[in-house]
Amino acid sequence: MLIRYYVRVSSMDQKIDRQLLAYDRADFIYIDKMSGMKRDRPELERMLNDLQAGDTVVVKSIDRLSRSTKDLLEIVEQIRTSQANLHILDLNIDTSTAMGKCVLTILGAIAELDRKTIKERTAEGIAIAKSQGKYKGRKKGAISLRDTEAIKRFKIFYNNGLTKSAIAREFNVSRTTIYKWIKELKRRGIIK
């Protein structure tokens, strides 16, 4: 009986730290960096294929599992068919009951609507900012290892086997900087 934590963000540029920091008891962590509207996600498929009877799938929130009601219900059914459980951290939903299944269906529809609304609002906001000459894209900035929260995030990424390139993207720094951080954190005894 293993705990399998599924983490998803919509793009390579987005950070996964909020989800990783939310749960630290997983036996396995599966991370996808792609839209929740896509059903074909490599790590999701790997996790579903790895499921054994008695395992628990954990997600931070329902929209991390899927942004499509149809796909969400199929994923939940596959989890159930594997005789595994689903735990949604933000809502503490139990999918083994009829009420839990009903609530999950409603929340899936809301998550899909929320995604469409966010997309529309973002596009409208960018269009307005562009028309006013104010849109310059997202700002990037590096994080210092003097920041204890940054060290905590780095340690989680490093200990969970993320590649140097993936960690560099998470912190918006070069891979060379990541190698320097690893050397420094090893010197301090923070990582092995």
* Catalytically annotated residues: 10
Which residue from 27, 17, 99, 100 is spatially nearest to 58, judged by alpha carbons? 27
Cα–Cα dist 66/37, whole Å: 6
Query: Is 57 in a helix, a strand, or coil?
Result: strand
In Å, what is the CA distance from 43 to each residue of 5, 39, 110, 129? 11, 11, 24, 36
Tokens 């059903």, residue located = 39
